[in-house]
């Protein structure tokens, strides 16, 4: 009798032990899911957690309350370079994507695109058996080898470049072809009614999450909004006191809410790192208290509202003002997925998990952060100091961002030694990455080049895009690698 009881008890204990160890093994063996929500042209102060009183963003307020705000998180100043930096962990100029081949961003049927030799976040995560999807706006080249499914994404749904590149926008005589909607590499239609695009991308995102709930996944969700032309879906139209921009932002906030609710329903929220950020400063919104807007190398052009959220791993309701960047996401996600960033090339991002997890004394590893405007190096930040070479009247200015976040007071005469130190950092970047036409970088990699590119959808009149509007020819100083 006693022996039977003993045996039963032992069996129960063994059973419980096995269950516990299985659970432990499962939780440690399965790496986290990653979701990057990348808003287009959203300014630093366009959402509640970063001070907006114009736009109602309850879901983002909750996201910030449960996660960490990054208040010195940097993107690039325009769409194409910003996406290049995020996906490769490199300064856009290092990989030839500060501009398109004849315009400040990549255009329909552009010769240039993300070189297939580059290693993206998605490709690293594929080696760890992640399911990967890009849902939204790509803008790193629309020729076959440049599209997301050739860069580590299992699937793609969205538009290949900006939503203002459509036939109706002919203000500058562009003669744009119809705006294609793609699934993977196939054109499945033309995007004409943009009022449904945010809901459409959200539905695709939720579908991808549900389909892949049983395995690690990476969802890259570069929303089309709030790039002009601004549109919002029915329940949001004419609802915001801030006009159509507010409507569009409130619909994006609802999209975030639906994603978070789905993660909770599927019991995935505790094992998912969600990153919410923007690709550059505001076109229509505001960046208060930052100076400058989209395209500028003042803070408002490149410092973007960023929230990271991972319950139990990132302290709730916290914030960090350490210098961080879209370029840091590749090494950070690689590490969290038990992989590594590539070591056969120079990357500019750093693993910021110590900062995100609030490890004691975690500090930025960016001794210098560089600001490029198109091909030209315009500024550098090191610690609180920023040297801007083309400030007011085109003269150099030194700002202390800790005391003067709005870049109003030039301290170059009071702190000449600081300015000299930052000039040295600029010289290092000129040698390494390059600066305009006068300083080709020593350590840059060739941009992808497609010979004889074609627009994905032809114009009804059969005429090509008008390329002559801008006299901007970066091929003079960008090394190219032909990929077709
Ligand atoms: Ca943008």
403-441: pLDDT as tens digits: 999 999 999 999 999 999 999 999 999 999 999 878 889
What sections of 89-213 are H helices per DSSP?
Answer: 121-126, 197-211
| Cβ atoms of residues 170 and 176 within 8 Å | yes
CA distance 340 to 87: 14
CB neighbours of residue 367 within 10 Å = 12
Q: Which two tokens stand for residue 475?
A: 């091929």
Position 462 in a domain: no
Position 458 in a domain: no
Spatial CB neighbours of 481, under 8 Å, sequence gap ≥ 6:
115, 117, 446, 447, 448, 449
Domain extent, residue 82, equals 32-356
CA of 229 relative to ligand 1 center, distance in Å: 12
Q: Are residues 139 and 188 in the same domain?
A: yes
CA of 478 relative to ligand 1 center, distance in Å: 22
Judge whether residue 2 has pLDDT over 90: no
Query: What is the per-residue pLDDT for 170?
Result: 82
Q: What is the pTM of this model?
A: 0.93
Q: In angstroms, how far apart are the furthest CA atoms of the chain?
A: 95
CA of 419 relative to ligand 1 center, distance in Å: 31
CA of 351 relative to ligand 1 center, distance in Å: 25
Q: Are residues 192 and 281 in the same domain?
A: yes
Q: Kind of pairing, strands 447-449 and 480-482?
A: parallel
CA distance 164 to 284: 14
Of the three residues 326, 356, 386, the one that is the final residue of a domain is 356
Query: What is the per-residue pLDDT for 470?
Result: 58
Query: What is the per-residue pLDDT for 8?
Result: 52
Q: Are residues 332 and 378 in the same domain?
A: no
End-to-end Cα separation, the chain, in angstroms: 79
CA of 370 relative to ligand 1 center, distance in Å: 19
Q: Give one DSSP letter per residue of 232-280, joined into a string.
A: --TTTTT--TTHHHHHHHHHHHHHHHHHHHHHHHTT-GGGEEEEEEESS
Position 179 in a domain: yes
What sections of 113-196 are H helices per DSSP?
Answer: 121-126
Q: Out of 59, 79, 223, 388, which one is annotated catalytic?
A: 79
Spatial CB neighbours of 2, under 8 Å, sequence gap ≥ 6:
none
CA distance 117 to 76: 22
CA of 341 relative to ligand 1 center, distance in Å: 26
Q: Are residues 280 and 391 in the same domain?
A: no
CA of 37 relative to ligand 1 center, distance in Å: 13
Q: Considering its fold, how many domains does the chain have in total? A: 2
Q: Out of 59, 103, 139, 309, which one is annotated catalytic?
A: 139
CA of 437 relative to ligand 1 center, distance in Å: 25
Query: What is the per-residue pLDDT for 464?
Result: 80
Q: Are residues 317 and 436 in the same domain?
A: no
CA of 139 relative to ligand 1 center, distance in Å: 10
Position 348 in a domain: yes
What would the pLDDT profile of 327-375 be if each residue is shown by its tens digit? 999 999 999 999 999 999 999 999 999 999 999 999 999 999 999 999 9
CA distance 346 to 226: 33
| Cβ atoms of residues 320 and 68 within 8 Å | yes
CB neighbours of residue 257 within 10 Å = 17
Q: Is 139 a catalytic residue?
A: yes
CA distance 67 to 415: 37
The angle formed by the CA atoms of residues 428, 432 and 434, to the nearest 5 degrees, is 95
CA of 104 relative to ligand 1 center, distance in Å: 12
Look up residue 177 and give its DSSP letter: P
Position 477 in a domain: no
Q: What is the mean pLDDT of the chain?
A: 93
Residue 31, strand partner residues: none
Q: Are residues 244 and 379 in the same domain?
A: no
pLDDT band at 25 (very low <50, low <70, confident <90, very high): very low
CA of 76 relative to ligand 1 center, distance in Å: 9
Percentage of residues in the chain having pLDDT higher than 90: 85
Judge whether residue 6 has pLDDT over 60: no
CA of 8 relative to ligand 1 center, distance in Å: 65
- Per-residue burial over 6-17, b if 16 or more Cβ lie within 10 Å, else e, is eeeeeeeeeeee
Query: What is the per-residue pLDDT for 22?
Result: 44
Percentage of residues in the chain having pLDDT higher than 70: 92
Position 256 in a domain: yes
Q: Select the more confidently predicted residue: 173 or 100.
A: 100
Q: Select the more confidently predicted residue: 460 or 200.
A: 200
| Cβ atoms of residues 212 and 272 within 8 Å | no
Q: Which two tokens stand for residue 347?
A: 């990357």
| Cβ atoms of residues 447 and 479 within 8 Å | yes
Q: Are residues 155 and 193 in the same domain?
A: yes
Of the three residues 297, 325, 356, the one that is the final residue of a domain is 356
In CATH, what number is assigned to the domain containing residue 378?
A: 3.30.1120.10
Q: Are residues 292 and 398 in the same domain?
A: no
Position 419 in a domain: yes
Average pLDDT of 222-232? Answer: 98
Q: Are residues 392 and 436 in the same domain?
A: yes
| Cβ atoms of residues 308 and 68 within 8 Å | yes
Q: Are residues 308 and 422 in the same domain?
A: no
Q: Are residues 168 and 317 in the same domain?
A: yes
Residue 382, strand partner residues: 385
Q: Is 79 a catalytic residue?
A: yes
In CATH, what number is assigned to the domain containing residue 306?
A: 3.40.720.10
Q: Which two tokens stand for residue 124?
A: 């690293």
Around ion ligand 1, residues with a beta carbon closer than 5 Å are 40-41, 79, 279-280
CA of 82 relative to ligand 1 center, distance in Å: 8
| Cβ atoms of residues 34 and 273 within 8 Å | yes
Residue 427: C-alpha distances to residues 32, 431, 434 (Å): 40, 6, 9
CA of 213 relative to ligand 1 center, distance in Å: 30
- Residue that the structure tokens 């032809």 belong to: 458
Of the three residues 332, 356, 380, the one that is the final residue of a domain is 356
Phi-psi map region of 243: left, alpha, beta (phi>0 left; psi -120 to 50 alpha): left
CA distance 24 to 232: 45
Judge whether residue 1 has pLDDT over 50: no
Position 104 in a domain: yes
Q: Are residues 310 and 373 in the same domain?
A: no
What would the pLDDT profile of 431-446 be if each residue is shown by its tens digit? 999 998 788 899 999 9
């Amino acid at each position: 009798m006693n022996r039977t009881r003993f045996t039963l008890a032992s069996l129960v204990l063994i059973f419980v032990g096995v269950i516990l160890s299985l659970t432990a093994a499962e939780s440690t063996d399965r790496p986290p899911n990653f979701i990057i929500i990348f808003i287009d042209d959203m300014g630093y102060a366009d959402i509640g957690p970063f001070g907006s009183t114009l736009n109602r963003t309850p879901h983002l307020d909750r996201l910030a309350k449960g996660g960490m705000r990054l208040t010195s998180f940097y993107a690039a100043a325009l769409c194409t370079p910003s996406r290049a930096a995020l996906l490769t962990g490199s300064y856009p100029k290092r990989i030839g994507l500060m501009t398109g081949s004849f315009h400040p961003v990549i255009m329909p049927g552009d010769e240039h695109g993300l070189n297939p030799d580059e290693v993206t976040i998605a490709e690293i995560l594929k080696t760890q058996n992640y399911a990967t999807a890009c849902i939204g706006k790509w803008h790193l080249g629309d020729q076959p080898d440049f599209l997301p499914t050739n860069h580590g994404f299992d699937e793609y749904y969205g538009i290949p470049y900006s939503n203002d590149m459509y036939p109706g926008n002919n203000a500058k005589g562009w003669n744009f072809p119809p705006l294609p909607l793609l699934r993977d590499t196939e054109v499945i239609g033309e995007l004409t009614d943009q009022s449904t695009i945010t809901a459409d991308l959200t539905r695709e995102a939720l579908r991808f999450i549900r389909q892949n709930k049983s395995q690690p996944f990476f969802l890259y969700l570069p929303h089309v909004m709030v790039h002009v032309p601004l549109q919002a879906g029915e329940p949001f139209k004419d609802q915001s006191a801030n006009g159509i921009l507010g409507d569009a932002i409130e619909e994006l906030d609802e999209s975030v809410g639906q994603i978070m609710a789905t993660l909770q329903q599927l019991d995935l929220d505790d094992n998912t790192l969600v990153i919410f950020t923007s690709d550059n400063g505001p076109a229509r919104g505001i960046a208060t208290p930052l100076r400058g807007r989209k395209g500028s190398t003042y803070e408002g052009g490149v410092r973007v509202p960023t929230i990271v959220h991972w319950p139990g791993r990132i302290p709730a309701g916290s914030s960090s003002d350490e210098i961080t960047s879209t370029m840091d996401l590749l090494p950070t996600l690689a590490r969290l997925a038990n992989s590594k960033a590539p070591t056969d090339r120079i990357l500019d991002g750093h693993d910021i998990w110590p900062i995100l997890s609030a490890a004691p004394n975690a500090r930025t590893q960016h001794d210098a952060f560089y600001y490029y405007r198109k091909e030209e190096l315009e500024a550098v930040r090191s610690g609180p100091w920023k040297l801007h070479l083309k400030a007011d009247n085109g003269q150099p200015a030194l700002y202390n961002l800790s005391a003067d976040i709005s870049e109003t007071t030039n301290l170059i005469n009071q702190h000449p030694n600081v300015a000299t130190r930052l000039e040295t950092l600029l010289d290092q970047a000129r040698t390494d990455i390059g600066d305009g036409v006068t300083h080709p970088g020593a350590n840059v990699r060739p941009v992808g080049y497609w010979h004889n590119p074609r627009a994905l959808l032809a114009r009804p009149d059969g005429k090509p895009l008008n390329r002559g509007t801008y006299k901007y020819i970066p091929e003079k100083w960008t090394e190219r690698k032909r990929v077709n």
